[in-house]
Amino acid sequence: MPMNGLSLSRSFFEASLPLLRERIPDVMAHAAAGLVGEGSDCLGADDGLSRDHDWGPSFCLWLPDALLRSECDRIEQALAALPASFQGHPTRMAPERRMGRVGPLPVKGFYRRFLGMDHVPASWREWMSIPEYHLCSCTNGEVFMDEEGEFSAFRKGLLAYYPEDVRRKKIAARCMIMAQAGQYNLPRCLQRGDFTAAMLAAARFAEAALSMTFLLNRRFMPFYKWAGHLCEKLPLLGRRTAAALNTLARTPWDSPEQGMKAVDAIEELCTLVSTELRDQALCHVQGNWLWEAGPAVQMGVREPELRQRNVMED
């Protein structure tokens, strides 16, 4: 089995570390290194097809902002001494190959790029302002080394996950979209033979169901391209959600009998979600009609302003 990008990059960094410590020991004494951010390799989701662009042995070198500015030339000279290939793969450490994703990066600047702020969100408003996939992008991958701990402390604060009020509000909104798009609108669209509307309803349901599954697992959902792949690995409902959405995606809708297979898969998944909502004491609504579960989940939000938001708003 070929080595994936994250393992390859870890090996490349370990091989590069002696040279970097020799050339810039004072800089490396304050550095963190790893592979975190955008790209399938950061998620452990890369495959042979991923290698056609922006893939290969590389690492992020996170440094305090002031140190990076003052020692930029020395850092670049040290990185230029690293090999152009590693284990038969071109490396991505040359400036023209980094795409702003690897190489020397400021600690606060790295997080600011994804969060729009240089601190762990401190209020529900700040948490709600950040797209889920951005939170995933700056907490995925692996930290290979962190001499001072600044980068890892920020990461730990984010991985502690949403405040429970925020998680509940998001779950409530996902209930409403799953019910509206999947349980209600999709069957009606299929009955009318409006397959364009059915496709859009199915897509809205699928994205909400994936987000719901990540929220129930207290994990940040990645960019939609990788959400289904990574959902399958989640311990709570991961395989069941992936199986239901695969059925939805593969079922032709050109007859009532075929359309019912998609509807049945949706209802089965909503039943599983409803059970998990009760198991997590998020609501006590019986049955699988998620339109009733959404407001009940939101009533558990303690922050008055957040609780009073429209239940369908994220």
Q: pLDDT tens for residues 270-302? A: 999 999 999 999 999 999 999 999 999 999 999
Q: What angle do CA 65, 67, 72 make, to 5 degrees?
A: 100
**Euclidean distance between CA atoms 27 and 83, whole angstroms:** 20
Bridge partners of 130? none
DSSP state of 253: -
Tell me the per-residue pLDDT of 10-63, one tens digit each, with 9 for 90 and over: 999 999 999 999 999 999 999 999 999 998 888 887 666 666 456 679 999 999
Q: Cβ distance 106 to 64 under 8 Å? A: yes
Domain boundaries, the chain: 5-159, 164-307
Residue pointed to by tokens 């509940």: 168
| Widest distance between CA atoms in the chain | 71
Q: What does the pLDDT profile of the chain (314 residues) look like in tens digits?
A: 345 889 999 999 999 999 999 999 999 999 999 999 998 888 887 666 666 456 679 999 999 999 999 999 999 999 999 999 999 888 999 888 888 899 999 999 999 999 999 999 999 999 999 999 999 999 999 999 999 999 999 999 999 999 999 999 999 999 999 999 999 999 999 999 899 999 999 999 999 999 999 999 999 999 999 999 999 999 999 999 999 999 999 988 777 778 888 899 999 999 999 999 999 999 999 999 999 999 999 999 999 999 999 999 88
**Half-sphere exposure of 27 toward its Cβ, with a 13 Å CA cutoff?**
29
Q: Is beta strand 85-86 parallel, antiparallel or unpaired with respect to 89-90?
A: antiparallel
Place of tokens 């669209």: 189
Q: Any bridge partners for residue 309, and if so which?
A: none
Distance CA 277, CA 176 (A): 14
